[in-house]
Amino acid sequence: MTFETHPARDDVSIVLAGEAGSGIQTIESVLTRAFRLEGFHVFASKEYMSRVRGGSNSTVIRIGCREVRAWTDRIDLCIPLGAQALAHLESRIGPGTLVLGDKTAMNVDHPIIDTCLTAMAREAGGPIFANTIAAGIIWGAFELTLELLNRAIKHQFSGKAPEVLQTILTSAQKGYGKGLELRHSGAIPIVLPGKPESVHSLFMTGAEAVGIGSLSGGCNFVSSYPMSPSTGVLTFLAGHAHDFGVALEQAEDEISAANMVLGAWYAGARGLATTSGGGFSLMAETLSLGGMIETPMVIHLAQRPGPATGLPTRTEQGDLDLALYAGHGEFPRLILAPGNIEQAFSLARMAFDRADAWQVPTIILTDQYLMDSCYDVKEFELSDHHPKPAIIETTTDYRRYAVTEDGISPRGIPGWGTGLVGVDSDEHDEQAHITESPHVRRRMVEKRMKKFAAIAREALPPDLYGPATASHLIICWGSTLEAAREAVKRIDSPDVAILHFTQLFPLPVAARELVECAPQLILIEGNATGQFGRLLRSEWDIEWAHRILKYDGFPFAVEELQTSLEFVLEREVQP
């Protein structure tokens, strides 16, 4: 049996695949911890079907000597747990892919390195141990320290009875021996990259980063109805609510959740609703209510493909238009979209302060890929941030909707001070009394819309990666950032730069000149119509030389972006 030679790489890509319920997430958790204990940079992300059992799911683990932060289509080592797994990965398996599996269970043309996994699991006590045996095989195949794998297993299964934990450790050791045997026979020629001098101390998912950022931003109330892929934020905050004094309620539906959050802000709390596209649609009326009564609220919208149920466990950037235009009537809103885990933390924290300061609905826009991906990051800076609610103690002459130069009225809360804090969902005057006066209506609309100028003045500028003089400027937002950065780094051309937007609305006016002056603009978006590109065209009259769009439910892979960008560059230089 011969395989393509494996050259030395900066990273190695391992893909685990199998049916839901076969334990591939367990292997992912064990191996990512163990590789980090060994001193490597690690990236992991998963794709999975919308079912509790069966189907075909996979997770990719990249181990690097440098930061690894993006999805790759390349598979160096594949571990299929089940006969259907290889068919599921067929488009990603190349001549250089080593497949370690049970030959008796596979019926494919690709060469299989036999692991006798079924027989080993039977000897260990049953099929349930196949996942830890597979983890041991991978560990032994790279001749890594068994003690570190055991530490990772003990952490993963810390709640198990001692005799069960020992059986799990024994099964992993059996797999480790098989992996060593395959390495020494020459069947597995893949070599791990050299270890970096240091690895960042934190390792987390995007969902955890949004949760931590929310806590850092002073979030003390959460109400949501579970909806994939936003549920990770809800479960993370539920797990830490007691530690941070957070009141958390799993509402009966998204309408109730949004109204609870709005009510919490009205009472002086800092509330969060975390949801996905279908749930956000149900929150639209509450969004308008927040705009009318000028009460802050923060909504985390984790995107997935629609319309309707769509692909509920896949990824897409298809809800920007929904976030932009949801709700009836006209009112200011702020939309922030993190591109990586650090930004998921910092923008979630910022959302609470800015919603409070400007008294507007604020939307944090993420997606399934960012929510479920994890990699190592530096410790977050917390010392310089102390959330201070923008509320006042009212007096007897307090007017909730006092007209001000910037449109932001002093916000009081019931019970603090001697004033009456009135609000009304109908149009109202400065005292919150209902009115149908056309004069007052114009005045109140203009007052609310003045906030756009205040938000624009403090808009987050986009991040520029590469020379401002580049002839080709990539425009992107959200989770496309890290794949685009790695693809451009591989191309290594002074003619290509990236401008990544984290504030999508209102647009940061300071960036307009940079965009307008770029000779060639390339739009990268994870949707079918180029929604952000359309926003830039309507606001700034931008025209696109090229658009790279993806809408199949999967994230952009580094390789496909590299290929698309190289095609664009080659076409530009052809006579």
pLDDT tier at 3 (50, 70, 90 boundaries)? very low
Q: How far is CA 548 from the centre of its chain?
A: 20
Q: What is the pLDDT of residues 121-130, one digit of tens each?
A: 999 988 899 9
Does the pLDDT of residue 573 top 60, yes or no?
Answer: no
Whether the predicted pLDDT of 105 surpasses 80 = no
What's the mean pLDDT when you consider all of the chain?
Answer: 94
Give CA–CA dist 370/304, Å, rounded.
11
Give the angle subtended at the CA of 552 by the CAs of 548 and 554, to the nearest 5°: 90
**Residue that the structure tokens 């693809």 belong to:** 487
Q: What is the CA radius of gyration of the chain?
A: 26
**What tokens were used for 268?**
């002086």
What was the pLDDT predicted at 1? 36
Domains and their CATH numbers in the chain = 11-185 (3.40.920.10), 203-377 (3.40.50.970), 392-456 (no CATH), 463-573 (3.40.50.920)
In this prediction, residue 7 carries a pLDDT of: 55
For 333-345, write each residue's pLDDT tens digit.
999 999 999 999 9
Stretch 131-140: mean pLDDT: 96
**Please, which residues have CB within 8 angstroms of residue 509's CB and are 6 or more apart in sequence?**
456, 459
Model pLDDT, residue 78:
95
pTM passes above 0.75: yes
pLDDT of residue 8: 59
189: cis peptide before it, omega within 30°? no
* Residue-level pLDDT at 4: 45
Instruction: Please determine, for residue 2, whether its predicted confidence score (pLDDT) is greater than 80.
Output: no
